[in-house]
Amino acid sequence: MSPDSAARGTPPPGRERDPGDAWVEAPGGERYWGRYGAAGVLAVDPSRGVLLQHRAEWSHHGGTWGIPGGALHQGETAEDGALREALEEAGVPRSAVRTRAVWRVDRQVWAYTTLMVDVVKPFDAVAGDAESLELLWVAAEQVDALPLHPAFARAWPSLRHSIRVRPRLVVDAANVVGSVPDGWWRDRRGAAERLMQRLEDLGHGGVGAAALGLDGLRWHPGIDLVVEGEARGLDAQEHVSVIDAPGSGDDSIVARVRELAAGGVSPVVVTSDAELRSRAQQEGASVHGARWLLDLLDALDSATAGGAARDPR
């Protein structure tokens, strides 16, 4: 489902209603569906395209195409709500997708969140309720040929561009750890492991789009942690892959950048080493210093300690 005033019509009789299934009216008279806001999932499959929902005729703008989604439940995060709706309406399993980026349309009294997810395990889309006429995987270049929900049509150009954007952090562990004089030299492996755990939290919580110079609200880039010497042998995490440098960490980072760039991924190297910065940029990477990453990690720590939700609402 897509953000719009009067986002949908009244559900058919007999459909179980949640307290969030209600209209919100703005001071100007515009109406939005979802007392607590709404959210949807744009699922991207590398071979099949994007998953679209042919909207039921009884819904507002019935017969048009958009993405699975709907009203949030009370206390539910936008990400959880989007994934729940995608499962209910289109059979999208949480275990089969990984969040790449988040967008948010804010109408002051109401907000709609779009969750772009990558399909990491192919699945068959199945309509789970009466809200879909059909579900279809559509190549990105063919989406404009369909009669789109007006709000989705407005959002689609930016979303289509972002589908091609695949950032990935490549972190120079020795340089980042060495930038903070906290006694890391007494336990290099332990210091690298602590950094990895913080990166895992970052992978889960995401990076603000502005920090990466991208569109949207938040991105969840994959992360490669390149370690060398005594720090080698760490176990990979859900969001963090570990690259054990057999020799020079710098050489391993440059090799990884070259590999990512050749595969259409946008490498973002994190290091304050001037020579490595130059080498990485020559291979097509953007580069940020260690302080850039530490500031992101510190901000995430502060938000978590303060009880701030990771959800963007």
Query: Which residues are within 8 A (CB) of 192 and not within 5 positions of it... i.e. 6 or more apart?
Result: 173, 174, 177, 225, 227, 231, 234
pLDDT digits (tens, 9 = 90+) for 179-212: 999 999 999 999 999 999 999 999 999 999 999 9
Tell me how far apart the alpha carbons of residues 212 and 234 are, in angstroms, rounded to a whole number: 27
Using the CB atoms, write b or e for 212-225: b if 16+ within 10 Å. bebebbbbbbbbbb
**Residue 43's pLDDT band (boundaries 50, 70, 90)?**
very high
What pTM does this model have?
0.86
Give the sign of the dihedral formed by CA 297, CA 298, CA 302, CA 305: positive
**Residue 128's pLDDT band (boundaries 50, 70, 90)?**
confident
Tokens representing residue 182 in the block:
């906290």
- Structural domains present in the chain: 23-163 (3.90.79.10), 167-305 (3.40.50)
User: Has residue 231 got a pLDDT over 90?
Assistant: yes
Instruction: Average the pLDDT over 98-125 and give the result.
Output: 95
Question: Which of 16-25, 59-68, 140-149, 303-312 is predicted with the least confidence, judged by mean pLDDT?
Answer: 303-312
Tell me what pLDDT residue 307 has: 58
Tell me what pLDDT residue 7 has: 41
Nearest to 167 by CA among 268, 241, 44, 42: 268
Instruction: Average the pLDDT over 224-240 and give the result.
Output: 95
Instruction: Average the pLDDT over 29-49 and give the result.
Output: 93
pLDDT digits (tens, 9 = 90+) for 240-292: 999 999 999 999 999 999 999 999 999 999 999 999 999 999 999 999 999 99
Instruction: Average the pLDDT over 15-24 and give the result.
Output: 78
Tell me what pLDDT residue 16 has: 58
- 134, 89 Cβ separation under 8 angstroms: no
Tell me what pLDDT residue 214 has: 95
